[in-house]
Amino acid sequence: METFPSISRALVCAVPSRVSLRFSSRIPSYRCTSTKWRTTRITDHQSDVSHQRRFYSQPIERQAPKNERSASKLYKSADDAVADIKSGSTILSAGFGLSGVAETLILAIRNRGSQLHSLTAVSNNAGVEGKGGLAHLTKSGQISKLIISFLGSNKVLEKQYLSGKITIELCPQGTLAERIRAAGAGIPAFYTPTAVNTLLEAGKIPAQFDGDGNVIGYGTPRETREFGGRKFLMETALEGDVAILRAWKVDEAGNCQFRYTTKAFGMIMAKAARLTIVEAENIVPTGSLHPDQVHLPGIFVDRIVPATVESQIEIRKVRNPHEDLTTSEPNEAAARRNRIARRAAKELKHGYYVNLGVGIPTMAAGFVPKGTQVWLQSENGLLGMGPHPTEEEIDADLVNAGKETVTVLPGASTFDSAESFGMIRGGHVDVSILGALQVSASGDLANYMVPGKVFKGMGGAMDLVGNPDMTKVVVATEHVAKDGSSKIVQECSLPLTGARCVSTIITDMCVFEVDRERGELVLTEMAPGVTIEDVREKTDATFAIGKELKRME
């Protein structure tokens, strides 16, 4: 088992006594006697960033309000339901983008003002400034720490983060979902292939800045262990004091029914909190929901309030049913993107289950030949995704991983985020196509962060490349960046999303196949008008030329 010898005694003490871990012999063995949990930070004196703080969880007193099983679960208003939430609480906030967000409850928490402060909020993202979600609470200053996978479109939050006014712990989306699911199932920790050989493993993703924009706090290094010759990271369960979620129908016993992609985090967060509050679009009598219609049993729900705020749409994306997107090439840049997407579509075979990243990868779906059925998977909990809706088809409860409005095809299904990433990590998805900032000759991928600049977070990307032996990882990207630098490099200089994970690279100039074991690139296809010399000039990695060099259509 690999260890991190720089972990201090305090960090060893942070491990619950019922969890047995082995550490380097250079670290004395300590055991916490406390059975409560708190969040704190330590200085890692033995690391190369000795002046930085490490953030971790250790036992503290629970902050959840008391709940009486014999009392009615119905509350007159959201204000009444959140009145006894305590400062310092950890709030699990469901939703994906603005879909499924408990907006009524969030506004009620905001209404408590400065008397409710120092909150830790756990969510996929932090809402949209001036529009909705947790942005209300970050703006009010009631949240001191966020645990999220993606910052989203929130410039005010970015400024707060860089000026040291809020701590942000970034966590891969699938790992976040599984940490929450594990807490609800009573599992203290688990091992995952996600984020192996990345900054997350080393504990070097910035978590806190000072007022001058200098990093003063990082994440926690992960313990690693090998299973079957592969390395995995240990992640701990993530529980909350209070969960807030929104459901379509809720009966008076607390049984909940959700619509479409609002399932994403709602069901797992309800199970991971000491107290769960649901805002319901429709409150119905007990017995109104058929047992087969119940997505979340009432045992996990403690309080029910009426939803008084309408669901919002983060990105309203519609299609013109008469427009043929596959032939629209208004300029040279569009032609390059279409060329990449057209070639990427050839990776999508009949019957395949496929995940497409935002941007050029998503465009590939428009070039799939008629008669070829491909099942598109969106990591927020949708399989069988259709095109963007017309104005008449728009549904606020139906969005893709980019928070854009979409439709579903016959045979589609929806599920929560833990189920979604189980599909992904488990290798049940045939092909994953992503964009890139850099790709190396050995198949390393960097696509989420440029040091020195604000980065949005990794979202689900680290999970999508976590099982490359089962799920083929394809990169679809322009050959050079806006500054003219090559995206195809010998070794990545940017932080990795995944190591030795990419099998095929498709650019506007050519196609490379990657030998991940030998760390070699092979040029197999070239675009019309492109020469081998052109490719060499624009590529910062060495490559071999395939025996049958084909024309890229």
Active-site annotation, residues: 379
> How many Cα atoms within 13 Å fall on the side-chain side of residue 353?
20
In DSSP terms, 225 is beta-bridged to: 232
Tokens 């009432």 belong to which residue? 298
Backbone angles phi, psi at 551, to 5 degrees: -85, 130
What one-letter code names the amino acid at 184? G
What one-letter code names the amino acid at 74? L
Distance (Å, whole) CA 424 – CA 467: 8
Sign of CA dihedral 115, 119, 122, 123: positive
In DSSP terms, 44 is beta-bridged to: none
Distance (Å, whole) CA 125 – CA 48: 31
Q: Rounded to the nearest 5 degrees, what angle is found at the Cα of 361, between the Cα atoms of 360 and 363?
A: 65
Q: Backbone dihedral region of 268: left (phi > 0), alpha (psi from -120 to 50 degrees) or beta? A: alpha
221, 202 contact by CB (below 8 A): yes
Distance (Å, whole) CA 151 – CA 157: 8
Backbone angles phi, psi at 183, to 5 degrees: -60, -40
- What is the total residue count of the chain? 553
438, 481 contact by CB (below 8 A): no
Tokens 């079957």 belong to which residue? 228
Between the alpha carbon of residue 372 and those of residues 352, 365, 389, 400, the distances in Å are 9, 11, 21, 21
> Token digits for 45?
């004196």
65, 87 contact by CB (below 8 A): no
Distance (Å, whole) CA 387 – CA 407: 6
* Of 98, 105, 107, 100, nearest in space to 126 by CA: 98
Taking each helix axis from N to C end, the angle separating 417-425 and 263-272, rounded to the nearest 10 degrees, works out to: 100
